[in-house]
Every structure is written in C-alpha cells, then in structure tokens.
C-alpha cells in the first residue's frame, strides 16, 4: 500500500477520533483511539505507540493490505471506511 494513502487514512482516523483497523499478511488488529498515544508513518513502516508506553507496534508498509477507519456508530449508515491495496 502506498505511503501517501496510509498517511491519508491515519489522518482521517485522527481527525475523526476513530480507531484504526490494520491488516497485514499475518494478522489483523485494531489501534483503539483511547489506547494510542501516537501513530505515524516513517522509514517504511507504520508505528503505533500505546499510551501506557508498554507497547509499540510496527507494521511494514509493503505488508499492509487493508486499513479501516472504525468510527463509533452514531448514525444508521455504515461506520467504517476501508481502503485496500489493489493487486
């Protein structure tokens, strides 16, 4: 997945105060908005630092195949916006 697209998705998650679902080739996990101190893209990886300082998650950008902005359900319409890699 392209770095610029990943940065755009992370910005959307931060701006809307949403959680971020991340899928790579091995696993899927959610970076909960209330548990993350900082999330950024640098040096070919996505980095999420948790608030308690006990965990930092690194995912290589070329291994990310899906990111989902998980907004709280306040409306009847869908609360998820997903972006996946083509090909």
CATH code of 30's domain: 2.30.30
Q: pTM of the predicted model, to two decimals? A: 0.73
Range(s) of the domain holding residue 66: 3-72
Question: How many domains is the chain partitioned into structurally?
Answer: 1
For residue range 26-76, list pLDDT tens digits in order: 898 898 988 889 999 988 999 999 888 788 888 999 999 899 999 876 554
78: in domain: no
15: in domain: yes
Cα separation, 42 vs 1, in Å, equals 14
């Amino acid at each position: 997945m392209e770095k610029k697209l990943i940065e755009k998705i992370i910005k959307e998650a931060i701006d809307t105060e949403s959680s971020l679902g991340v899928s790579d080739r091995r696993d899927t996990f959610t970076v909960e908005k209330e548990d993350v101190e900082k999330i950024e893209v640098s040096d070919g990886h996505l980095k999420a630092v948790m608030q308690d300082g006990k965990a930092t998650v690194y995912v290589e950008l070329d291994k990310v195949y899906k990111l989902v902005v998980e907004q709280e359900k306040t409306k009847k319409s869908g609360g998820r916006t997903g972006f996946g890699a083509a090909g």
